[in-house]
Amino acid sequence: MRQLRHRRLTAVVALATVLLTAAPPAVASAGGKPERQPGYHRVGYFTQWGIYGRAFTVKKLDASGAASRLTHLNYAFGNVSEDGRCYVDGGPGEGDAWADYQRPVPAEESVDGVADAPGQALNGNFGQLAKLKAKHPGLKVLISLGGWSWSTYFSNAARTDASRKAFVASCIDLYLKGNLPGSPGAASGVFDGVDLDWEWPNWDGEPGNVIRPEDRENFTKLLAEFRRQLDAYGRTTRAHHPLTAFLPANPATMDAGYEGRKIFKYLDFGTVQGYDFHGGWEAVANQQSALRVPAGSPDNPDFSVEVAIGGWLTRGAPRDKLVLGIPYYGRGWTGVTGGGNGLFQPAAGPAPATYEAGYEDYKQLKTLAGNGYTVHRDLRAGHAWLFDGTTFWTYDDPAVVLQKMLYIRRTGLGGAMIWSLDGDDDNATLTKTIGLGLTTW
């Protein structure tokens, strides 16, 4: 049995290597039509704050080869005001207009090698996204609204017909028309569409979020209003403006906040959370992104990719409008006792990490393998972890990512989503694995 597992693992790793070294690069889909384009969606989140500690600039998307493997780039995040409007938040520790569109980007960080001039109409990340699109014209850039920290007032924005109309109009004006504060039209053409990352309608998210029972129906109505206004705007631009949404993995959250089949009438596709199934907030080392529930799991029911995708399918979601989320980070525990390979063993708390305890980027975790840590795999369940006898990290490496790409193909899903691109290494190894794993030959 051990030899059989070894042969299977060798085959998976060998296939991943062939894909990474021998296959041609994936071509980004051309946009402009509301129907599904040939091939798979490959969606990556670019974080506003990644330019700081992680030094992950828009230029790195181009230089690493990641941009050519993507069809959609989601910029995280845009905020929602208490009175239900899209706006640029300048509050300390919250919004960062400097990073978004004010920072003069030096030549060495610029996509085209040309430095920004201080005070020009568009600088910062938005200016670099415009340059990235010029080099990759098939790439669609979406503004992602909300996220964990900025979903506080989504319920207010979605509450009434009038509030929905005003909210959507403000988002299109600010992002698609590019009417930045003090610079009308400066960002026009940077963003092609909108991604709604409301975490979560009628369900707990960050403490302090406004939650109402009617959020469930109002989310559908909000999507309908976005689709209506985006289509109206598209008649002036002669383009299709995509509308997507980030969707939960928890079946209970699906039922509380979403009207199943109805929402997909308005969405180009939905990205499904394929991670954070477990983490350092729990007292047992576990998987955070397994394809299937592992044998011996202490939780029943438990979370997995199959549970999440299956949950949406049973609620009427079209298969080809479900895009599976892939984590470019791991969840970790330390003080793990009980011996063995560490899985399902008690832990003292979240593992120390670079930016946040219990959370580490793939590019850091890949350096641990063979450096005091042993890589363990469960090929049936589709997950991997690192363990040094005390500290445990669950993460997706190229072999796991490839296995998930094969699952996407076999299941007939719409593609893969990345949270987040700044977790990859400088060679964009995981993004290339996704791009090549979903290449249509």
Angle subtended at Cα 113 by Cα 110 and Cα 119, rounded to the nearest 5 degrees: 60
Compute the C-alpha angle 315/320/324, nearest 5°. Answer: 80
Q: Is 35 known to be catalytic?
A: no
Closest CA to 246 of 147, 142, 151: 147
- Cα distance between residue 231 and residue 237, in whole Å: 10
Are the CB atoms for 90 and 99 separated by under 8 Å? no
By three-state DSSP, how is residue 76 classified? strand
Catalytic residue among 35, 82, 94, 199: 199
Contact 72, 142 (CB under 8 A): yes
- Residue by residue, DSSP assigns 144-206 as EEEETTS-TTHHHHTSSHHHHHHHHHHHIIIIIS--BTTBTTTTTTT--EEEEEES-TTS--S
As beta bridge partners, residue 413 has none
Residue 186's CB is within 10 A of a number of other CB atoms, namely 18
Q: Are 183 and 127 in contact (CB under 8 A)?
A: no
Looking at residue 305, the DSSP 8-state letter turns out to be H
Cβ contact 169:195 at 8 Å: no
DSSP state of 342: S
Question: Which structure tokens are listed for 107?
Answer: 């030549």
User: 441, exposed or middle or buried, with CB in 10 Å at 0-12, 13-18, 19+?
Assistant: exposed
Catalytic site positions: 199
